[in-house]
Amino acid sequence: MYELIQITDRSFYIQCPAKIGLVKLNDTEVCLIDSGSDKEAGRKTRQILDAGHWKLKAIYNTHSNADHIGGNKYLQGQTGCKIYAPGIECDFTRHTILEPSFLYGGFPCKDLRHKFLLAQESDAEPLTREVLPEGFEWIPLPGHFFDMAGFRTPDDVVYLADCLSSKETLDKYQIGFIYDVGAYLETLEMVKTLKAKMFVPAHAAAAEDVSELAQYNIRKVREIGDRIAEFCREPLCFEVILQKLFAAYGLTMNFEQYALAGSTVRSYLSWLKDGGRINALFENNMLLWQQV
């Protein structure tokens, strides 16, 4: 864990639960793509920087989920590096209570206020094309989270953030977190067409071709959407739909899963409703969902 893997002369990644990209800007300076899950990830990354005699110039966050920005504060405090994040992700990075609050739909109880969902705040600035290193390409990857972005380096390595889950992860957990189902499917279709020397997804193996994995993710998204629509042959409230989905996949509920999977299921319901597959109705002061 936290092993530095070299891809090209300039592009690397740190092997950890949410891969950290490392790109050499010149002989002495590097930038990071994300910073890992917590202060310990920051410490491990700092050790790698010190071993390479590299100065950290900037962290480019792909999005604001806690496992991607958790090392920000430590590394910024140690090195004085700049931190950039795209769109609304910048606000979530600066005000990290927004993530568990958004997921839960209200003030999060203590069970949701921990490092997995609540990173330390860091002094992020908006990501613009002007602050990208020379030769970098910004790739919008919306869907998983609000304004998630990936990056292509000058030596043609593409860091894909969380837009792909490994087959093993999908088969085990089934319900990957999604904010906007329609946008996510469009992103996956786009990713299928990309070409690069190497792709580095945060939660899947680095590979020269990710088209098959992208299609696997697409099939899983559509499978879950179809299951939810099928449940709604009779009018059901959200809680029952969530319960049925967990039962169908043999999953176990806890506070984290309730927040993450629950938010995702609400996104599926919005997508199905906007697509004309289900309707929303109110009966006895309860919101119910039913197939059209």
Average pLDDT per run of 10 along the chain, which is 292 residues long? 96 98 98 98 98 98 98 98 98 98 98 97 98 98 98 98 97 97 98 98 98 98 98 98 98 96 98 98 98 98
Residue ranges making up the domain that contains 179: 3-221
Structure tokens at 201: 């997804």
CATH number at residue 179: 3.60.15.10
Do 141 and 241 lie in one domain? The reply is no
> For the chain, how many structural domains are there in total?
2
Q: What pLDDT is attached to residue 27? A: 96
Do 111 and 248 lie in one domain? The reply is no
Do 201 and 281 lie in one domain? The reply is no
Q: Does a structural domain hold residue 92?
A: yes
Closest to 143 in 3D by CA, of 193, 181, 102, 116: 181
Q: What pLDDT is attached to residue 261? A: 98
Pick the last residue of a domain from 179, 198, 221. Answer: 221
Do 164 and 267 lie in one domain? The reply is no
Q: What pLDDT is attached to residue 36? A: 98
Q: What pLDDT is attached to residue 6? A: 98
Contact 225, 272 (CB under 8 A): yes
Q: Does a structural domain hold residue 226?
A: no
How far is it, in rounded angstroms, from Cα 38 to Cα 3? Answer: 16
pTM to 2 decimal places: 0.97
